[in-house]
Amino acid sequence: MSSTKIMRYHVTENRRFFNVSGFTTAHYFFCKPNFVPRFEQYEFSQIFYVLSGTGVYTTEQGSYPIHSGTMFYRPAGRRSKYEWTSGQVRFALISFYCDSPAMERFEIPPFLLNQEEGATLLDAIKTAEKICEPLDDDETMIGQRLRAGVPEVMQSFVCASLERFLCMVYCRIKGIDMLQDESCKVGAFLRTEQLVEGVKKYFAEHLGEQVSIRDLCDRFWISETALRKKFRRETGMGVMEYFMDKKIKEAEHRLGTTTLSVTEIAAGLGFSSTSYFTKVFKAKTGMTPTEYSRYASKRWAYFAQREEKRGRKTKEKD
């Protein structure tokens, strides 16, 4: 009589080191909001991520400077306030509930996030902002709810993303470096390639518009310094230098293959004026657009004549 052997496996239990039970609001501010700084106290916790600008974060323990790239944590039930000292301010925040004792480790002065941490936090915040809407159009800060038709799993995604971010930062605060292995370097390399290709594609799709570094930073969730560095390392060119080069190459194509005027081409490629377009075009090619158009016409005429002669010779042989 045969018997079935029962295998027993050890299960490593997930004890939910950080248990984010839900979030109240998530916002991404593209400019400094119009508000009067004052001490506030909430029943939920908040995390702020400063993308640009400077300010001061004040708690009952003291005041701390905040600037681009820094994160600060506002614990539930504690009085604090923040104020901005520069006009060029962009920041993101998320209000959430988490009663894990480990949250006490975040009650430290504002500190810089690394690229992976910042991207993970912004992913949670921007996803939450996208899937939610205010409870009241006039009171956007009192809370949000899922938009109609949004699956509830997206709420779980936001909470899980926030928990991942908290684990990452907690490990760094505690000096646990097990997350910093070779896979991180490979991931960073792949992300750089994807970023640069994404920027190139965005340029190609918006060749007729005026795109700024700020526009790109907002779209790809990256700091200006990091974007410039990564793009030059991959292409050997500056970000806006590359964009302008593409515009001029397209201008050369249009000047040589269409009957559009210089003014029409300048406007179609997003230049603020014909004179500015002419200045940039000459700096890049050594000719004005009109001179290039004449040169291109003669060149195309030459090639057309050469092809015509080849065609006649082929017919004579036949």
Residue 182: pLDDT band by 50, 70, 90 thresholds?
Answer: very low
Q: 32: which residues sit within 8 A by CB, 6+ positions away?
A: 53, 84, 87, 89
Q: For residue 29, give both structure tokens.
A: 């501010």
Query: What sign for the dihedral angle of Cα 290, 295, 298, 301?
Result: negative
Average pLDDT score over the chain: 84
Please count the other Cβ atoms lying within 10 Å of the Cβ belonging to residue 2. 4
For residue 96, give the 3-state DSSP assignment.
strand
Distance CA 224, CA 218 (A): 10
DSSP conformational letter for 15: -
Instruction: Out of 71-75, 139-143, 181-185, 258-262, pick the least confident.
Output: 181-185
Residue 304: pLDDT band by 50, 70, 90 thresholds?
Answer: low
Distance CA 29, CA 178 (A): 34
Q: Where are the alpha helices (DSSP H) in the chain?
A: 115-131, 153-173, 182-205, 213-220, 224-235, 239-257, 262-268, 274-285, 289-317
Distance CA 75, CA 104 (A): 8
Please count the other Cβ atoms lying within 10 Å of the Cβ belonging to residue 142. 11
pLDDT score recorded for residue 174: 86
Length of the chain: 318
Which residue type occupies 6?
I
pLDDT score recorded for residue 67: 87
Instruction: Out of 111-125, 218-232, 248-262, 302-316, pick the least confident.
Output: 302-316
DSSP conformational letter for 198: H
Instruction: Out of 42-56, 151-165, 173-187, pick the least confident.
Output: 173-187
